[in-house]
Amino acid sequence: MDQRQPLVSALYLFGDSTIDPGNNNFLATIVKSNFPPYGRDFPYGQPTGRFTNGRLITDQLSELLGLPDLLPASLDPEFQGQKLLTGASFGSAASGYADSTSIPLIYSNEGPEISSDLLYLQNVLPLERQVKNFRLYKVRLAKQFGHETANRTISQALFAVSGGSNDFANNYFINPLTRKKYTIKQFQDLLLKSLTVFIQNVYNEGATTVAIVGLPPFGCLPSQITLHNILENKCVEEFNEVASSFNSKIKALLKKIRPNFPGALIAYFDIYDKFFDIIKSPNKYGFEETRKGCCGTGLLETSIACNPRTLTCPDPSKYVFWDSFHPTTKCYYYISSRGMRTVTETIRMLNIQ
């Protein structure tokens, strides 16, 4: 716990595996990481459900804000008592802005179709459900500490959402049903609509400071290179262009809708440029391997494919990626350091207390 006066009352996170500290542990889903080698560099080598070798950006941000240095999962039974006052992550790995991102497919003779029988394989929390869980949390907070404390805590908190990569990498570009229904522009607009609804929902619940995290260059993820550009063995430029254009649309959207949320600060948090620079100039940051993750071959393994029987690299600090989809803790630090400091300095100037 940072001994400084916290810059915000609490931190509330929504989104996907980049900010899920273990909510999926408590869901009937195979999309988990609460087993070794995940958590290898976490205190005591404990696998917590974080999709990396140590701490997430959420933990680093929480510490910078003067809050506990480990942000809890909202579904964790231990998230109670005084812990309710400093926030939690409501995120769920494998989720996205679009509800369809968390629905698996099966393939029959007639082609791909949604499988209700296989829903338990994914069964993760889409963004709308995460907000519903926040509302339930708000009731708990008010019941234990009173409505005045609950309202003050929420109004002085930082809300953030990080998502979108799964919508493209694990939905649009592999799901023929989605591509048949939407052009890439239409799908981007669908996601922006969902993002707008999210902002409206948390604003209605009392949020006054909201950060929207942009997409990374997901075409450089090892899994995407393996699946879509194995012959050239380099970043999928089409995917990176989609990420870049979507980020531009987020910024344009926020500029347009800010007047609709009087009294609120809605900020964009860029991670694309720093992430891309790390991949293109790894030596500047002390990395040696950018093409594959530390776990297994590093080309496709993630979640249950990265398990206690999977060999890992000797030194994750040399790797940009922990598995084929998620960065190492060290990479998360570099991706987020400048942006997080911008966020904290902005909050200081606004004197949010």
- DSSP class per residue in 268-317: EE--HHHHHHHHH-GGGGT--B-SS-SBTTSSS--GGGS-TTS-B-S-GG
pLDDT value of position 336: 79
In the numeric block, which tokens belong to residue 290?
């950018």
pLDDT value of position 301: 95
Residue 303 scores a pLDDT above 90: yes
Structure confidence by residue, pLDDT tens digits, 310-332: 999 999 999 999 999 999 999 99
pLDDT value of position 280: 97
Confidence band (pLDDT; 50, 70, 90) for 5?
confident
Distance in angstroms (rounded) separating the CA atoms of residues 54 and 299: 20
- The residues, any chain, with a CB within 8 Å of residue 80's CB and separated by 6 or more, are none
Structure confidence by residue, pLDDT tens digits, 226-251: 999 999 999 999 999 999 999 999 99
Taking residues 23-51, what's their average pLDDT? 95
pLDDT value of position 350: 62
Structure confidence by residue, pLDDT tens digits, 287-297: 999 999 999 99
DSSP state of 158: E
pLDDT value of position 259: 96
In the numeric block, which tokens belong to residue 131?
């907000």
Structure confidence by residue, pLDDT tens digits, 41-51: 998 899 999 99
Picking from 269, 274, 237, 239, the residue whose alpha carbon sits closest to that of residue 251 is 269
In the numeric block, which tokens belong to residue 181?
């229904």
Distance in angstroms (rounded) separating the CA atoms of residues 113 and 175: 10
In the chain, the domains with their CATH numbers are: 11-219+229-271+343-350 (3.40.50)
pLDDT value of position 8: 94
Distance in angstroms (rounded) separating the CA atoms of residues 50 and 195: 24
- Cα–chain center distance at 38: 17
Q: Give the catalytic positions in this structure.
A: 17, 323, 326
Structure confidence by residue, pLDDT tens digits, 57-71: 989 999 989 999 999
Structure confidence by residue, pLDDT tens digits, 169-216: 999 999 888 999 999 999 999 999 999 999 999 999 999 999 999 999
